[in-house]
Amino acid sequence: MFKHILVPVDGSEHSKIALQVASQLVASQGGTITLLHVPEPRDHEPLLVWGLGAVPSEASFEERDKAGKALLDKAMEEARAMGLADDTISTQLEHGEPRQAIVTAAKNMNVDAIVLGSRGLSDFKGMMVGSTSHSVSHDAECRVITVH
């Protein structure tokens, strides 16, 4: 049913669970997964992000990209540990506002579904403006599976 799934990852526990769900779907049906990360500056420093450490709020663009690539590498390791072969997993680093970057990437890649966590590393501002998962579910042109 799903031949290509986009999994946005930010290092949160919810994105780890989304990766598990997507991995199970791909393993049972065949297909591929693209892991997507959109580095963004934060007003606060999140605690440990998938065991990689926090990225300081004043980090440069290059430092956020480097941390984002490390996060994608870690997510790829986890997907492999869940039984996915290297040729079924790809990674992509995008820039911009996460909600829009996810929707645009999904459209450009012509994915069948987006699997994402219901909560990420957002702060209070994110709750006030609206969650990424909520926005993506309304704007995406493909199926969106939100996991808790």
Residue-wise pLDDT for 10-50, tens only, equals 888 889 999 999 999 998 888 999 999 998 766 555 544 56
- Residue of 119 and 18 predicted with greater confidence: 18
* Fold of the domain built from segment(s) 21-147: Rossmann fold (3.40.50)
pLDDT at 61: 82
- Residue of 29 and 139 predicted with greater confidence: 139
Q: Which amino acid is at 103?
A: V
- Residue of 24 and 119 predicted with greater confidence: 24
Token pair listed for 58: 């004043």
Q: What is the largest CA-CA distance in the chain?
A: 43
Q: Which amino acid is at 2?
A: F
Domain boundaries, the chain: 21-147
> How confident is the model over 58-113, as pLDDT tens digits?
778 888 889 899 999 999 999 999 999 999 999 999 999 999 999 999 999 999 99
pLDDT at 44: 56
For tokens 């996060």, name the residue. Answer: 71
Q: Residue 108: enclosing H or E segment and its boundaries?
A: helix 98-109
82 with 20: CB under 8 angstroms? Answer: yes
For the entire predicted model, the pTM comes to 0.88
Angle between helix axes 98-109 and 132-139 (nearest 10 degrees) is 40
Residue 126: pLDDT band with limits 50, 70, 90? very low
pLDDT at 75: 95
pLDDT at 48: 44
